[in-house]
Amino acid sequence: MFGSLGGYFIEQKLKSTCSKFEEDHTFEYRLRESTLIKEKFPDRLPFIVERRPGTNYEEISKNKYLVPTELTIAKFIYTLRKRLRLTPEQALYVYINNQLPSNSSLIVDIYNEYKNEDGFVYMFYAMENTFG
């Protein structure tokens, strides 16, 4: 599911990061919130999106997303790019468990494979200028 060629993983040497959302809220709170979200919106899944530490770009204004199950990662990245107001020259990379997900991966598959014990998937983003 992750990777770009033949199902191989693209491993990134990123230090393990803890989400700010995880630090700010207890496990019980996060579990209760994800459970309520999934009950209220059965066709959407809870994702937390945060800037990867060390990235020199502004924080995204919204960190909690209810993502439709049938959406691909590519379409979700498009949503994030619009929210971050990125120019075409800027690349956006998203990491789940320090891996780059394949653009064709469905959100539901990623959720089922990589959800945290609290019911959220934690995704980090980083940016890089590709043309300059």
Question: What CATH code is carried by the domain that includes residue 114?
Answer: 3.10.20.90
Q: How many domains does the chain have?
A: 1
Residue 49 within a domain: yes
Residue 42 within a domain: yes
Domain holding 47, by residue range, is 20-129
Q: pTM higher than 0.75, yes or no?
A: yes
Residue 12 within a domain: no
Per-residue pLDDT reduced to its tens digit, 30-51: 999 999 999 999 999 999 999 9
Per-residue pLDDT reduced to its tens digit, 55-97: 777 788 899 999 999 999 999 999 999 999 988 888 889 999 8
Residue 114 within a domain: yes
Residue 28 within a domain: yes
63-70: list long-range contacts, CB under 8 Å, 24+ apart: 63/20, 63/21, 64/21, 66/37, 66/41, 67/107, 68/43, 68/44, 68/107, 69/43, 69/44, 69/45, 69/106, 69/107, 69/108, 69/111, 70/106, 70/107, 70/108
Residue 13 within a domain: no
